[in-house]
Amino acid sequence: MNVVCHIRYELDPFKRDQFEDYARVWLTAIPQCGGALIGYFMPNEGTNFEAHALIGFDTLAAYEAYRAKLRTHPASKANFEFAQREKFILREYRDFLRQVTA
């Protein structure tokens, strides 16, 4: 895993339960589409409107192939539609990180 996609979600704080349902779908859909899911992380203490996801890939090309699979994967498509319909995600930020090694 050479590249980690970090997704920061800005949520409607009154719809966190809906986001958690959304995140649970990705726990199986992301690996099925080729991503190495590190995890989804919900607010616990402090800021109540941010959540995070970390997904690993060998290369940026592998990430692009994963994104193409997401567009046709039935559970992924349904989950995207759920998010658009319920509007619990206000903004989404995506960064690509690499691990610092010795």
Question: Beta strand 36-41 with 89-97: parallel, antiparallel or unpaired?
Answer: unpaired
Class of domain 3-97: alpha beta
pLDDT greater than 80 at residue 1: no
- The domains of the chain are located at 3-97
At 98, is the pLDDT very low, low, confident or very high (cuts 50, 70, 90)?
A: very high
Mean pLDDT within 68-86: 97
Mean pLDDT within 37-47: 94
Question: What pTM did the predictor assign?
Answer: 0.93
Token couple for 49: 């409107």
12-39 confidence digits (pLDDT tens): 999 999 999 999 999 999 999 999 999 9
3-state secondary structure the chain: CCEEEEEEEEECHHHHHHHHHHHHHHHHHHHHCCCEEEEEECCCCCCCCEEEEEEEECCHHHHHHHHHHHHHCHHHHHHHHHHHHHCCEEEEEEEEECCCCC
Supply the pLDDT for residue 6.
Answer: 98
